[in-house]
Amino acid sequence: MADLIVKAFQQALNLIINGDPSVYGTVYRSIYVAGLGTLLSCIWSIPIAVVLGLYNFRGKWVVKGFFNALIGIPTVALGLLLYLLLARHGEFGSLHLLYTLNGIAIGQAILVTPIIVSFTANALGNADTSLRDLAKTLGASGFRTDLTLIRETIWSMILSITAAFNRGFGELGIATIVGGSLVGETQVLTTAISVEINFGSFDIAMAYGIILMAIVIALALVIALVERIRSEDRPLNRFIMWRGLGGG
């Protein structure tokens, strides 16, 4: 086992250092679908989260509970549903999204929606209520007060978006069923691992796994570093510190 892990690390380093185009292509496609999926999801998830986090309405707890429950949705179940919708005779078959990277990205966008909605809505809901009063007493309108609260919780929002990206980046079900793992076309890191295991090439599968983990960890470290710099009085802060709304 230890030999396999050492060999896998060597294999991973070789694949990266030698600049194997197929590996870089697979990494690129993984980042592309997870990145596009997360970005797409942000378009609807953040407004939903803002409404859930900042406004009270009848049945709000039911909607929040619904999104919380969907966080753990099995990716194969969602993948199957999307397959049926995107297949040639499905409702959206005419879009020709099956076995495409964009099809996987759409699937991942749906998959990560509950993560962004739930985490962001909770952060906004737990925002310091005194900040709402402060904004109002300084003359902010309702809309600007909401913007201020969003700005105050932006870091939690970034963390929820990062978690969503990681969920998409590491999922297998949608990428396999909707993407089909076509080599050089729709194969991403997770499906590549699955394929290599089926071929019995455990060292290559491990190598892909190590690359996948390395990217997730590197992203987490970058976020943690930025957060650390942001929270301290450092000159670099001037570049990343939030300025008051309203220009200037």
Partner 1 sequence: MSVNLQLIDIKKSYPNVKALNSISLELEGGKIIVLLGVNGAGKTTLMRIMAGLENADSGQLLFNHQPIDCKAVRQVSTLVFQKAAMFSTTVYSNLAYGLRIRKVPKDEIKKKVADALQIVRLSGFEKRRAKKTSGGEQQRIALARAFLLEPHVLLLDEPTANLDPNSATIIEKAIVNKKSIDRIIVMATHNLTQARRIADEIVHINNGVIVEAAKTEDFFENPKSEISRKFVNGELEF
Does 200 bind partner 1 (CB under 8 A)? Our answer is no
Diameter of the chain by CA atoms? Answer: 66
* Stretch of 23-31, 136-144, 173-181, 214-222 contacting partner 1, by CB under 8 A: 136-144
Does 240 bind partner 1 (CB under 8 A)? Our answer is no
Q: Which residue has the tokens 């294999």?
A: 11
Tokens of 184: 């050089």
* Stretch of 30-38, 63-71, 114-122, 234-242 contacting partner 1, by CB under 8 A: 234-242
Q: Which residue has the tokens 């900040």?
A: 131
Shortest CB 243 distance to partner 1, Å: 5
In terms of CB distance, is 57 or 143 closer to partner 1?
143
Site size toward partner 1 (CB under 8 A) is 25
Length of the chain: 248
Cβ within 8 Å of residue 208, ≥6 positions away: 12, 23, 26, 189, 192, 193, 196
Q: Which of 138, 213, 214, 224 binds partner 1 (CB under 8 A)?
A: 138
What is the pattern of x (binds partner 1, CB under 8 A) and - over residues 14-53? ----------------------------------------
Neighbours of 46 (CB within 10 A): 20
Nearest to 147 by CA among 230, 23, 247: 247
Shortest CB 55 distance to partner 1, Å: 18
Alpha helix stretches (DSSP H) within 55-188? 60-70, 75-86, 101-125, 129-137, 142-152, 154-170, 173-177
Does 59 bind partner 1 (CB under 8 A)? Our answer is no
Shortest CB 161 distance to partner 1, Å: 18
Q: Which of 14, 133, 184, 185 binds partner 1 (CB under 8 A)?
A: 133
Cβ within 8 Å of residue 100, ≥6 positions away: 179, 186
| Residues at the site binding partner 1, with contacts judged by CB under 8 A | 128, 130-131, 133-140, 144, 148, 152, 233, 237-238, 241-248
